[in-house]
Amino acid sequence: MTDDVISDQHQPLVPNRTVWLDQFGDLDVIALSERPIPQAVDDEVLVRVAAASINPVDWKTAAGEFPPMSADALPFALGRDLSGRIEALGTRAHNMLSVGQRVFAFIDFDRGGQADYVVVKAVELVATPDEIDNATAAALPLAGMTAWQGLFDHGQLQAGQRVLIHGAAGGVGHLAAQLAVWKGATVFATAGSRDLDYVRSLGVERAIDYENERFEDHATDLDLVFDTQGGETQARSFGVLKRGGTLVSTLETDEEKGRELGIRTVPRWLAEPNAAQLGEIAALVAAGTVKVAVAETFGFDRVRDAYAFTKDEHPRGKVVLIMAENE
Ligand SMILES: NC(=O)c1ccc[n+]([C@@H]2O[C@H](COP(=O)([O-])OP(=O)(O)OC[C@H]3O[C@@H](n4cnc5c(N)ncnc54)[C@H](OP(=O)(O)O)[C@@H]3O)[C@@H](O)[C@H]2O)c1
């Protein structure tokens, strides 16, 4: 055995079901494939996954839309978020973590979190607080990191500032709204009619019905717009910012328009794994300050139904795949 291969690793006698993309296409390309259980080496950790969430980037990847990928990158394992228990440790991961520990993570793009077993870098893992169940932990990472990094790293949101959050009942938006309220900002938030009461319950100053109201009539003189929509919504959002204000989008940003209007914009950015930040959000969730909305859970064998539900049914918050009950 080489030095960087773990010593206590074993191969459980169960299949490693994996959402494994062989080709780009509609949701019929989403299927479970049985793959070998990967080995954790060096600073890696093998996680037995209990739950994994679905993000828009998963179906965009499956469709070949985003991120730009050529067919050479296939086959490809989908999923960025997972929660579960540590099954085995690489030799350089032993100091930090222990077998059996409950953990969750926002994992690198190419690791594939929607599987029974996933190898993760030890530094990406966060211990799951006792107060947080596995479905909630799996729902949090990508959406939570996007909200945190968008508001605080890129948007530099401060207490007392005025911020508009678009799509505040969505996976990213519902966390962004709560984090902005926690920060002490005055928060305006857009959502569809059926989600307005929910968004009000997050503590925002004004929930704006994007289907029946113009946000420009209710939120002006803003320091920050956090845009999750792009297109026309983003274009109109420049007009509600103070001169010198900031527009942060999770999608492409019209930087030219920002320059013309004296609005700071941020070049296209992607949320990045950051275990320290994820730990901070987890503490807020454990304390009940931030509540993660899990709209629906699906058994792993219903993965395609789960993708279709996430894409077509406009769920509030997140949709989570359950690999193992009561883990
Ligand atoms: N840059 C990054 O790293 C990053 C990270 C995460 C996400 N993203 C991108 O950000 C976008 C949002 O992600 P998500 O996970 O929050 O998606 P999501 O869960 O689908 O949420 C989108 C929300 O937007 C709402 N919405 C639709 N039209 C709207 C409008 N005109 N005005 C205001 N809200 C509207 C939807 O409401 P209804 O239910 O009424 O339709 C829904 O609640 C996606 O395109 C995703 O790919 C980027």
Distance 177 CA to ligand 1 centre (A): 13
Tell me, what CATH number does 164's domain have?
Answer: 3.40.50.720
Residue whose Cα lies nearest atom 9 of ligand 1: it is 250
* Domain extent at residue 311: 16-138+292-322
Mean pLDDT taken over the chain: 94
pLDDT (0 to 100) of residue 4: 46
Residues β-bridged to residue 82: 105
Does 167 contact ligand 1 (Cβ within 6 A)?
yes
Give yes or no for residue 170 CB within 6 A of ligand 1.
yes
Q: What digits encode the pLDDT tens for the residues 249-273?
A: 999 999 999 999 999 999 999 999 9
Q: Which of the four pLDDT bands, split at 50, 70 and 90, describes residue 15?
A: confident
259 with 297, same domain: the answer is no
Strands annotated E in 26-170 = 32-35, 44-54, 76-77, 81-89, 102-106, 117-121, 125-127, 162-165
Dihedral of alpha carbons 184, 188, 192, 193, sign: positive
Q: How far apart (Å, rounded) are the C-alpha atoms in residues 129 and 287?
A: 10
195 falls within a domain: yes
Check if 172 has its Cβ closer than 6 Å to any atom of ligand 1.
Answer: yes
Residue 193 pLDDT exceeds 90: yes
Residues 134 and 20 in one domain: yes
The verdict on residue 270 lying in a domain is no
Testing ligand 1's pocket by substitution, the residue of 199, 225, 228 carrying the most ligand atoms inside 8 A of its CB is 228
Do residues 127 and 150 both lie within one domain?
A: no
Residue 81 pairs with which residues in a beta bridge? 106
Residue 314 Cα, ligand 1 centroid: separation in angstroms?
10
Task: Choose the final residue of a domain: 265, 283, 304.
Answer: 265
Whether residue 9 has pLDDT greater than 60 = no
Tens-digit pLDDT profile for residues 162-173 = 999 999 999 999
The residue among 224, 246, 265 that closes a domain is 265
**Based on the structure, what is the number of domains in the chain?**
2
How is the beta sheet containing 16-21 ordered, strand by strand?
32-35, 16-21, 76-77
CATH number of the domain enclosing 105: 3.90.180.10
45, 112: one domain: yes
